Amino acid sequence: MKMILTIVRNEDAPLLLNELNEKKYYVTKLATTGGFLKKGNTTLLMGIEDEQVEEVCEIIRQHSGKRQQIMYTPPAPSNVNVYNSVSSVPVNVEVGGATIFILPVEEERKV
């Protein structure tokens, strides 16, 4: 048995959850926040059998598309005392996709 812990963007979560539920996978959904982009994420927890891992990973891949997003970062510090009209620097970063952790489960108990 495996525990699948998946982090996806909030925008990707509804369709992904719908597809997993249609395939009869039971999912626990947690609201989380990423440390780099400071954006909301959805973390999904699933207990599945070993032989289901590849199917679940493929469903996640199909419903967690990567895309480009402009993020504004503070300009590099300068020793020059000149008025700087630029308050931030645009940086193109890749967002989306999913981070999947596959963990072994020693035992499952339902009480």
Strands (E) across the chain are located at 2-9, 28-33, 40-48, 66-73, 89-96, 98-104
What CATH number does residue 43 fall under?
Answer: 3.30.70.120
- C-alpha span between 87 and 75 (Å, rounded): 7
Q: Which domain holds residue 79?
A: 2-104
Beta-ladder partners of 41: 9, 32
Per-residue confidence in pLDDT tens, the chain, 111 aa: 999 999 998 989 999 999 999 999 999 999 998 776 677 899 999 999 999 999 999 999 999 877 777 777 766 666 655 555 556 778 887 777 899 999 999 999 989
- Which letter does DSSP use for residue 10 in this model? T
For residue 111, is it within any domain? no
Tokens of residue 35, six digits: 């440390």
Q: Output the pLDDT for position 66.
A: 76
CA distance 41 to 37: 10
Give domain status of residue 15, yes or no.
yes
- Is 75 within a domain? yes
DSSP state of 76: P
Amino acid (one-letter) located at 105: V
Counted domains in the chain: 1
